[in-house]
Amino acid sequence: MKELLKELGFERLPMLSEFVKAIENMPTEYVTDSHIFRERYMRIWDYRNFITQPLTKGMFIPCDEEGNVLEKPLPASFETSQQYRHLQMLYQQAKDRVLFELPNPFKANRKDENIKYFFDKYKTIEQAINNGVVLTLKQ
């Protein structure tokens, strides 16, 4: 999805209507109208499914599978290099799952109560973008 959004020229997550308009104007490799329609419909459907997902902390900051925030492991804090490598690998996997830059209010202040308020207010990606929250794709 990230690659398609960049191909369409989006640096932030668009509202569904913006996405549909961009898809309508997107050049296609298919020849017949039915193939063009199917390709565009499938991309719109995939995006709709994507933005209706529940928001999670792991979309913004590295978290484990249970949603606990992970801090970058420091080598000096482990008894063995094997422990460090394992936790470094888990942290990197969590970091790779991050989709978005932190919204501006959280960059300077990652306090739990601010983040909790955000997730209480916006249950899905779509709710956030429809209410003006700019969700910038992680580079």
Task: Supply the pLDDT for residue 109.
Answer: 56
Long-range contacts of range 26-29, CB-CB < 8 Å, 24 or more positions apart? none
pLDDT at 124: 94
| Three-class SS of 76-107 | HHCCCHHHHHHHHHHHHHHHHHCCECCCHHHH
- What is the value of pTM for the model shown? 0.74
Report the share of the chain in percent with pLDDT over 70: 87
Q: How far is Cα 30 from Cα 21, in angstroms, rounded to an integer?
A: 19
pLDDT reported for residue 69: 85
Would you give the distance in Å from CA 22 to the centre of its chain? 19
* Contacts for 62 with CB less than 8 Å, ≥ 6 apart: 69, 70, 72, 91, 94, 95, 97, 98
pLDDT at 70: 87
- Per-residue model confidence (pLDDT) at position 89: 92
**Low-confidence residues in the chain, pLDDT < 50:** none
Residue in 129, 131, 92, 132 with CA at minimum distance from that of residue 5? 129
